[in-house]
Every structure is written in structure tokens, then in C-alpha cells.
Amino acid sequence: MVLGRAAPGCADDSGVEQPPQQSGGSAGTDAGRGGTGGVAGIGTSSGSGGVPDAGEPGTSGSAGLGGAAGGQGGEGGEAGRPVGPIDFCRRFPNATALAGIVAVEFDFASTADCRVAGIPWLYVLSVSNERVSFLNQLQSFNYALWGCTSSPPTQFALIYEEGLVEDPRPITSADTAALIEDYLAIVELRLSLSQREVEAVRTALSDLATGVIGIDSSEYSRGECNGGAGGAGGEGGSGGAGGAGGS
């Protein structure tokens, strides 16, 4: 089954609940775009078909991951840097399904993170909803990032870059750091990664993120937090208003 859901206000043929969003007026879902069936083209040697319904919370492979981090105690090497290539994919007989599930879970997590809640909406374009395309791209990205293919990924797929054409506000370094944090929280638990593996993934994602960062800033480009970093900056300017009240 191809991963994907419509944005709020759009028909959802999959019957799976769409994560809550704070923005309205999204365009209709373009089911034909986003590569229906493209998930099957992930390039596994087994030629596996589409990913099972992403709404199925208990994909059996996660239960078999319990020993993933075993035997990796006492790790050495430079902290925060990969000791070797990321190759833990070999532990997962159902890596294709896991890659799809992580894609959906990340979409939910980033939507719920007020720091970057506006970034998932980059796939809602003026003429179409490209969520299916984004999820398929992210699934393929996961599969390559985890060492399931002969070549590692070359793009930072945690953002739907095509959406920047319509919303050209530059991505900040704070944006990518928050997205990476959300992603790591999912894969560490879902894949039972060791700390060394988590740091290896962090380093790989941080390196890829340099290709999408437009501004090195601690501000979030599309944050929706009340009283967050952006709001705190505004409070500084309201201090004068308090002084005016005392006159």
C-alpha cells in the first residue's frame, strides 16, 4: 500500500487519520502525483512490493529489534562522530516496512513539534497536496540512510524542498536541528539503536542538512510555539510599552 494521507480538509482515500495541523485551506490531494506505487521502487534486491498500511502500529519487525543494540557496550571512538559506515540495516529483515513506518511517524512528530510545525506544510502546494510524494521520498531516504543500499543518501529528505518554491522563507540551522532531534527520537526507539549508532545518524543528517540551510540562526523559520524563541524576541520590544503605561 502506498503511504500517504490527505491534508486537513482533503479527502483521504486511505481512511487513516491525518495529523492535526494549525493551518487551513489546503489544496486537494493529488493522488496521482507523489508516485503512487513509487514506494515499491525503493530498489531492494528482494523486489518487495508496497509498504504495509502505515496506520498499523505493530509491524512485526519492531518486536524483532530487541537485541539490536546488544554487544555494543563499551563503545569507543570520537564522541558524536561515526566510527564506521551506517550499516545496521542488515539487522532488519523488514527494513522496507520499517522505513515507511518511520516516515509516517516522523511526519506526525514534526507536525506536533511547535518549533517546526509549519515545515510539514511545505508539501501542501497551491495546486496539489504532495504528502504522498514526501512520504515516498522519505521512505527511500530512510532505506538508504540505514545502509540498505550501496550508496548513502545525498539530500536532506526531512524537508520537502520542492515546497520552498512557493514558500521561499529560508530554512534555518535551528529548523534542521529540531527536525534531526525529532527524527532521532523515533529511530532510536523504533530501531533499538545503540548510542554510537544514534550519533552516527546524527552526524550524517547534520552533514546533509548543510545543503538546505539558508541562514545560520537560532530562530525557527516556521515555528508556531506560543512564547517560544520567536515570541521571546518580541517580548523585548514590549518592554517600552510597559514604561509608557507608567507615565
The H-assigned helical ranges of 113-150 are: 131-145
| 148 CB-side CA count, 13 A | 23
CA 232/CA 174 separation, integer angstroms:
15
- Other beta carbons less than 10 A from residue 134's beta carbon: 26
| Of 34 and 123, more confident | 123
Nearest to 67, CA basis, from 95, 88, 96, 46: 88
The H or E element containing residue 188 is helix 173-190
pLDDT digits (tens, 9 = 90+) for 171-187: 999 999 999 999 999 99
Is the pLDDT at 127 greater than 70? The verdict is yes
**More reliable by pLDDT, 175 or 55:** 175
Q: Which residues contact 50 (CB under 8 A, 6 or more apart)?
A: 1, 2, 37, 39, 40
Q: How far apart are CA 2 and CA 26, in angstroms?
A: 21
| Burial class of residue 11 (count of CB atoms within 10 Å of its CB; 0-12, 13-18, 19+) | exposed
Say whether pLDDT at 15 is over 80: no
Angle of helix 95-112 versus helix 131-145 axis, rounded to 10 = 120
State the chain's mean pLDDT as an integer. 72
Topology given in CATH for the domain delimited by 85-224: Globin-like (1.10.490)
Of 119, 100, 123, the C-alpha closest to 110 is 119
- Residue 27 predicted with pLDDT over 90: no
Residue 115: pLDDT band by 50, 70, 90 thresholds? very high
Task: Determine the 3-state secondary structure of 189 from DSSP.
Answer: helix
Letter for the amino acid at 95? Answer: A
Q: Give strand pairing partners of 213.
A: 171
> Cα(208)–Cα(201) distance, rounded to whole angstroms?
11
Kindly indicate the confidence band of residue 2, based on its pLDDT and cuts at 50, 70 and 90: very low
Query: Which residues, listed in sequence order, are joined to residue 215 by a DSSP beta bridge?
Result: 172
Mean pLDDT, residues 98-127 taken together = 97
Q: Enter the pTM of the model.
A: 0.62
Q: Express each pLDDT in 131-154 by its tens digit.
A: 999 999 999 999 999 999 999 999
106 versus 237: the higher-pLDDT residue is 106
Look at residues 129, 127, 149, 150 and name the one whose alpha carbon lies nearest to residue 140. 149
d(CA 232, CA 119): 20
Q: Nearest CA to 199 among 49, 83, 68, 54?
A: 83
- Which residues are within 8 A (CB) of 220 and not within 5 positions of it... i.e. 6 or more apart? 115, 116, 172, 174, 175, 178, 228, 229, 230
